[in-house]
Amino acid sequence: MTPEALVREHTVYACVMGSRAFGLATEDSDTDTRGVYLAPTPLFWRFDKPPAHVEGPAPEQFSWELERFCELALRNNPNVLECLHSPLVVHTTEWGRELLALRGAFLSRQAHATFVRYAGGQRRKLEADVRQYGHPRWKHAMHLLRLLGSCRDLLRTGELRIDVGADRERLLAVKRGEVPWPEVESWMNRLQDEADTALGTSPLPPAPDHARVQDLLIRARRASV
């Protein structure tokens, strides 16, 4: 079975991500689709295992095999966790609905470390651009601010909301380069400090619920023989 066929025939969950899911879409925004496919269990009985992820077959489409998706989500990978909280679901099956119902099991205080570590790497790239070119990649700066705000709110409330809401216009102003870099830096610092403070009193559990996620995976594998 080809990777493209796995996505076409065995996707259990798909959603729109990127600017459209974040509430930051403009007229020229792409439509980025992310999905999860459940490879038939017999494919794992061979030396040549099914792929853990597939790009395509449509433009701007990327999918993970269910087990790989769960592994990344249990590590609180920001890009993967956000897929489970997209307001724009385009396809779901029984297993996809079970995965969505389980999305709270992936969330934990460990998100602070993974979100902040990812944000730190992105910020260093922006700072390198400022040193080299005199300005950052403004679109990347906008998305870094969005990510830090999402992390702060997750730690404060225990819920992951990815739509930027009332911050839309201010963030789009950053994307257009209308906000001076020192002001953007100050905003990043404030969000980082607020996320750090929220960690101490977060309602999130200290770790994800591995047992519940593993139970889903085992049942899905047995049903796909």
pLDDT at res. 46: 93
Same domain assignment for residues 102 and 114 = no
pLDDT at res. 105: 97
Contacts of residue 59, defined as CB under 8 A and 6 or more positions apart, other chains included, come to none
Nearest to 213 by CA among 98, 76, 51, 133: 98
Same domain assignment for residues 74 and 159 = no
Per-residue pLDDT tens over the stretch 6-60: 999 999 999 999 999 999 998 888 899 999 999 999 999 999 999 999 999 999 9
User: What whole-number percentage of the chain has pLDDT above 90?
Assistant: 97
Same domain assignment for residues 137 and 216 = no
State the CATH number of the domain containing residue 76.
3.30.460
Total domains, the chain: 2
Residue ranges making up the domain that contains 69:
3-106+208-223
Strand 32-37: give its sheet, edge to edge: 53-55, 61-65, 32-37, 11-17, 89-92
- H or E element that contains 94: helix 94-101
Mean pLDDT over each residue of the chain, to the nearest integer: 96
Same domain assignment for residues 20 and 76 = yes
Q: How confident is the model at residue 107 (pLDDT cuts 50, 70, 90)?
A: very high
Same domain assignment for residues 133 and 189 = yes
pLDDT at res. 29: 87
Same domain assignment for residues 68 and 35 = yes
Same domain assignment for residues 193 and 214 = no
